[in-house]
Amino acid sequence: MIGDWFLGLPRHLKQAFAALADGIVLPLALWAAIALRLGEWQPEVAHYWPAFLAASLVSVPVFISLGLYRQVIRYIGKGAFWPVIKGTAVGAAAVTAVAYMAPLPGFPRSVPIIFGLLATLYVAGSRFALCHWLQWRTARAAEREPVIIYGAGRKGVELARALAEEGRYEPKAFIDDDRSLYKRTIDGLTVHSPKSLEALVRQTDAHQVLVAAGSASSESRAKILQFLEPYRLRVRLVPDIDELQFERGRLAEVRDVQIEDLLGRTEIDPLPHLLKSSVADRQVMVTGAGGSIGSELCRQIVRQAPKRLVLLDHSEYELYRVQREVEQICMVEHLDVPVAAVLGSVTNRAFIRHSLAHYGVETLYHAAAYKHVSLVENNVIEGFKNNTFGTLYTAEEAMRAGVKDFILISTDKAVRTSSVMGASKRLAEMALQAMQPMTEGTCFSMVRFGNVLNSSGSVVPLFLDQIEKGGPITVTHREVTRYFMTIREAAQLVMQAASMAKGGDVFLLDMGEPIRIVDLATRMARFKGYSIKSEANPDGDIEILFTGLGRGEKLHEELLVGEDVSGTDHRKIMRAEEHFVPWPELRPALDALEDACNSYDHKTIRAFAESLVNGSALESQLGGVS
């Protein structure tokens, strides 16, 4: 119990305990030295108190300066002797100096030498004893799991040593792509070719491969994972050995393969001047701040020195969560950025007007939207109200308040839409395009991209949950594909695109190649160590069920309405030149649609929504509702 409590303490408290323990042990070593020298086990030492103080007050600071307390006791080595020897030697010298300068009558001259030896024995011995106890305790706590390590370089070797001492895993062998290492034995483990993996699994009974790929590029990591995919093994990744952390005596950083690892997508570093241009020293607002994209925008923006960051969301829970997270970033990274949390809906004009004026907003990222296709399909009125008119109201009030930059977070589902959600977002885009010629003070732009990984609407969390429960995994169609991008990359590209806006711009993000969803589900299951049940493999672990495309869903998504697209200063951001309906023609249709929403005229709204299933006919259908 006490051991568990101590191991669970933060590292800085463990270091403080170690220093305190040394501060107690060193005077005991001096007392023992005096007792040994005088041959008395109860020597009179009260008048030697200056020497006892010197033993601790000099040695412990020397230990600190030499880094003794930064060493992890579980993995302490012979190198720890030197800080101990140096520290106790300085302490012995201090005791000698005090004995002569005080002076301390009757203080034996040989005591400092005996003290130095005993202090070294006590301080070093206690650490090595504790190290062996921790290793024994860990090894005894659970049966060690045999594993194979992919990577026999320095990082792989250090990982094997750490794992052997940590006690949860028992490294059985290395595999590596470097032919010069084959058949070599490193720390008792033989290096094999990856082609020998199947035989190794049979010999060692290992069901898990740990990939020491902390510094590998995303492409290299993806190639390794592609090789391991056919094997029925659980594959886990380990970061750089220097970044390994331990929680309650166990490695905390060994992680399962994530979707980002499978994609092998290379994120390029953002261009600093583009990242800062629209937010640095400005009052910045993010609507939908509690959502997946909105919250990541907040995390990125606060690091670019805005004058103030205003978080706006209609969900109390999500707003509170993102506020706490952003304030924590400011505290940890010492950022002097005021953060304001505003609770309300973008469909409330008066609320938006007041908020923009009150905070003097200069840049506005509009991420507030309903994004779940099936939910919006069954809640058409609220979908149009929030996605179309929430954008319209916020944009009009932004013009009135003198907001300099207004950036709409859009979606690939707005292109040749087959869903109400896509139609509502396309109308929002068209409204901003049509409004741009009416203002010189506000620069409207929109950024269109596909799915972001692990967002609230992504299939990835759903698949993970289904896999953990043993299946089945549900996929809409065998041929359905989607574009994917990490949330961080998407947010950074949105910010950089905003800095290049001229007014009415439609920016497209390079999403890479589309991914077959069934392939994604299959790979996720395999890397968890499961096989897929099918006609060819009736004894598989997990079945994939095809449920059929839902209403409004497409097999494949697109990013372009037309064909006119040009590059920008950023190679992953493109600018599209798209036709839009002028405001005098668009406004009456929007007014009529708004009236239908306010009167809950489901028949008119549903007919309008149904007419948009071909997407490209959107402009021609506007007249049908006006």
Domain ranges of the chain: 2-139, 143-257, 272-619
Q: What is the pLDDT of residue 186?
A: 83
Q: Other C-beta atoms within 10 Å of 191: how many?
A: 23
For each successive 10 residues of the chain (626 residues), what is the average pLDDT?
55 75 77 75 69 76 75 65 77 76 73 77 76 66 75 80 74 85 83 87 85 67 79 75 45 62 69 90 96 93 95 96 95 94 96 97 95 86 94 96 95 76 89 92 90 66 81 83 80 91 87 78 79 81 81 61 70 82 88 90 78 46 47
Cα–Cα distance between 295 and 454 in angstroms, integer? 13
Report pLDDT for 137: 62
Please tell us whether the domain made up of 272-619 is placed in CATH 3.40.50.720: yes
User: Do the Cβ atoms of 24 and 50 come closer than 8 Å?
Assistant: no
Residue 121: per-residue pLDDT = 77
Retrieve residue 18's tokens. Answer: 């170690």
Classify residue 623 by its DSSP letter: G
H or E stretch at 173 = strand 169-175
**Beta 246-247 vs 250-251: how paired, if at all?**
antiparallel
Does this chain's domain 143-257 share its CATH topology with 272-619? yes
Size (the chain), residues = 626
Find the farthest-apart pair of alpha carbons in the chain and give their distance in angstroms, rounded. 109
Q: What are phi and psi of 255, to 5 degrees?
A: -135, 160
pLDDT at 246: 43
Count, in order, helices (H) and strands (E) of the chain: 23, 25
Whether residue 108 is preceded by a cis peptide bond, meaning omega within 30 degrees of 0, is no
> What is the predicted pLDDT for the residue at 324?
95
pTM of the model: 0.64
**Residue labelled with tokens 């750490």:** 162
Rounded distance between C-alpha atoms, residue 24 and residue 89, angstroms: 17
pLDDT of residue 252: 46
| H or E element that contains 517 | helix 517-526
Are 183 and 262 in contact by the 8 Å Cβ rule? The answer is no
Residue 408's beta-bridge partner residues?
366, 446
- The CATH number that domain 143-257 falls under is 3.40.50.720
At residue 307, the pLDDT reads 96
Classify residue 142 as exposed, middle or buried by CB count within 10 Å of its CB (0-12, 13-18, 19+). Answer: exposed
pLDDT at 204: 84
Q: What is the dihedral of CA 80, 81, 84, 86, to 10 degrees?
A: -120
Tell me whether residue 205 is exposed, middle or buried, using C-beta atoms within 10 angstroms of its C-beta: 0 to 12, 13 to 18, 19 or more.
exposed
In this structure, what token pair is assigned to residue 100? 């002569």
What value does the CA radius of gyration of the chain take, rounded to a whole number of Å?
33
